[in-house]
Chain A
């Protein structure tokens, strides 16, 4: 677990944060699931976009 990569750590972060945000910010179960999935997607999507942006800056 301590040898986790940066990407793996960021995905775990997105997973846990999405679960908590979904439960706390929405009222019904359906809304919670949808909010959790969408926020997880946005976390990971933003992560990939930021990674490519840094790659472009580097090259």
Chain B
């Protein structure tokens, strides 16, 4: 009895929400919080991350594809991919700008990368809520 309670304290079994919340949160920004009834946080996260990503697209930011070239390009792709569903949609609809005509296009690329990284932080936060590490 004592051994089993000690084992639970050391390595608690993951509940289903600890898998679902970060996965859903990665796919749809803020949804990891929404499925756990943190509605205000979820809406704010969704609004911020989706707005940031879409503003980046509107600024003619570059959506990086998988590549084996420059290190910064590889890291930028990883950042973009963290945006989950937004990245999948932008790749599927080919939202990459053809001819860049805006001086702020480079800012747009950074907006897209940072939106992805913020989405990753958001998904990790949803996981922490699911395992009870955070309220």
Q: Complex Cα distance A40/B121, Å?
A: 17
A16 within 8 A of B: yes
Which single residue of chain A is at the shortest CB-CB distance from B118? A20
A-side interface mostly: helix
B-side interface mostly: helix
Enumerate B37-66 residues with CB–CB distance to A below 8 Å. Answer: 41, 44-45, 47-49, 51-52, 55, 58-60
Chain A interface residue number, banded = 20 to 34
The total of interchain contacts (Cβ-Cβ below 8 angstroms) comes to 64
Q: Complex Cα distance A34/B52, Å?
A: 22
Q: Complex Cα distance A15/B25, Å?
A: 21
Number of B residues contacting the other chain (C-beta, 8 Å)? 27
Residues of A within 8 A of B (CB): 1-6, 9-10, 12-13, 15-17, 19-21, 23-24, 27-28
Whether A9 contacts B107 by the Cβ 8 Å rule is: yes
B77 within 8 A of A: no
